Amino acid sequence: MRLKKIPTTVVTGFLGAGKTTLVNHILDATRPMQIGIVVNEFGEVGIDGQLIVADEEAVIEINNGCVCCTVRTDLVASVRDLLTRFGDRLERLIVETSGLADPAPVLQTFLADPDVRERVELESVVAVIDALHADAQLDDDIAREQVVFADRIIVNKTDIASPQAVDALVERIRQLNPTAQVEFANHSAVAVDSLLGVRSFSLDNLLAVEPDLLDEAGHDHEHDDTIASCAFIVPGALDATRFNRWINQLVQTDGQQLLRMKGVLNLHDEARRLHFHSVHMLLDAKFGKPWSRDEHRENRFVMIGRNIDAERMRDGLLSCMH
């Protein structure tokens, strides 16, 4: 008997572009469809898995590495695990890559592994682009590769970027990838039917861009050695006023070097967890679900940037404790 293939969407995009927000948007719009999620993060402490709105058993996190390099074996194992957990109930897979992931070897993993290829159909590759910061980000080789290998491109955060900047960005995108469908969004909100069921992935198009895509030896991807992550898990409660003062001062002094910050935080006298995000000097925070009565409350905080002084960052966070 021939097994049905699970349609799979790969979501890429540079740090802070809005990938997790897009995944949550898809999940909200497709309930009660059973979707398995694989989330990869560049750092030792996972945050994004806690921000995904799916059932916990449907989410697998791969931490402390880029899915295109050190943890590709874990990617294959995660896909197999979800196929085993849900069997015929699994209707779709979404793989959210790290913001520092080159998509070529990620796609190679799905196309070259015989067991995965037999069960999974790579349906689309979606790149989320931050309209506010893309001009600088697209100077990075990885960000350009994310655009080149996409068949769907979402230009996100158009509400906070100027129309002139968006127009210039689209022109630059078209120079890199003239065939991809481009959509515009605020908070990654797009019509889900434009992303799912479209079967827009084309191996022929990708081979035209990267002829050695299916060659295991053809991948030679190195990260910028100046980019690193530091992650902290701190028990106890934060003082909201102190944290607000510290984080605002931090982005003023270090914002250009801090590519991305994110955290799930426990504030004093607050029943809900705080979801915190930043991209360079742009800060955002909102409350998530309440802490359960028997849940161990802690603060999980990740920073990704250039030449980070991890000890200074940790001392700053600890100074905000209640």
Tokens (6 digits) for 189: 């909100």
Residue 163 has pLDDT above 90, yes or no: yes
Tokens (6 digits) for 42: 């560049």
Q: Which residues contact 21 (CB under 8 A, 6 or more apart)?
A: 187, 188
216: helix, strand or coil: helix
Residue 140, pLDDT score:
87
Sole residue written with tokens 């701190």: 234
Strand partners, 181: 152
Contact 229, 302 (CB under 8 A): yes
Residue 205 has pLDDT above 50, yes or no: yes
Give the CA distances from residue 99 to residues 172, 207, 212, in Å, rounded to whole numbers and listed in that order.
19, 23, 23
Contact 27, 35 (CB under 8 A): yes
pLDDT band at 224 (very low <50, low <70, confident <90, very high): low
Query: Residue 74 has what DSSP assignment?
Result: H
Mean pLDDT of 245-258: 88
Contact 318, 57 (CB under 8 A): no
pLDDT band at 272 (very low <50, low <70, confident <90, very high): very high
Quote the Cα angle for 317-156-173, to 5°.
Answer: 120
Residue 1 has pLDDT above 50, yes or no: no
Residue 183, pLDDT score:
95
92 phi and psi angles, rounded to 5 deg = -165, 150
pLDDT band at 277 (very low <50, low <70, confident <90, very high): confident
Residue 50, pLDDT score:
61
Tokens (6 digits) for 286: 């909102």
* 109, HSE (Cβ side, Cα atoms, 13 Å): 24
Which span out of 114-118, 182-186, 293-297 was modeled with the highest average pLDDT?
182-186
Pick the more confident residue, 227 or 314.
314
Q: pTM (2 decimals)? A: 0.77
Residue 216 has pLDDT above 60, yes or no: no
Residue 63 has pLDDT above 90, yes or no: no
Smallest Cα–Cα separation from 305: which of 278, 274, 276? 278
Q: Measure the CA–CA gap between 71 and 135, rounded to whole angstroms.
A: 29
Percent of the chain past pLDDT 90, that is, above it, reads: 40
Give the CA distances from residue 281 to residues 57, 249, 251, in Å, rounded to whole numbers and listed in that order.
34, 10, 5
- Burial of 87 (C-beta count, 10 Å sphere; 0-12/13-18/19+): exposed
Mean pLDDT of 278-289: 84
Residue 315, pLDDT score:
94
Residue 94, pLDDT score:
94
Pick the more confident residue, 32 or 46.
32
Q: Which domains does the chain have, with CATH numbers?
A: 6-218 (3.40.50.300), 227-318 (3.30.1220.10)
Residue 208, pLDDT score:
64
Of 5-9, 124-128, 211-215, 278-282, the poorest mean pLDDT is in 211-215
Rg of the chain on CA atoms, in Å: 19
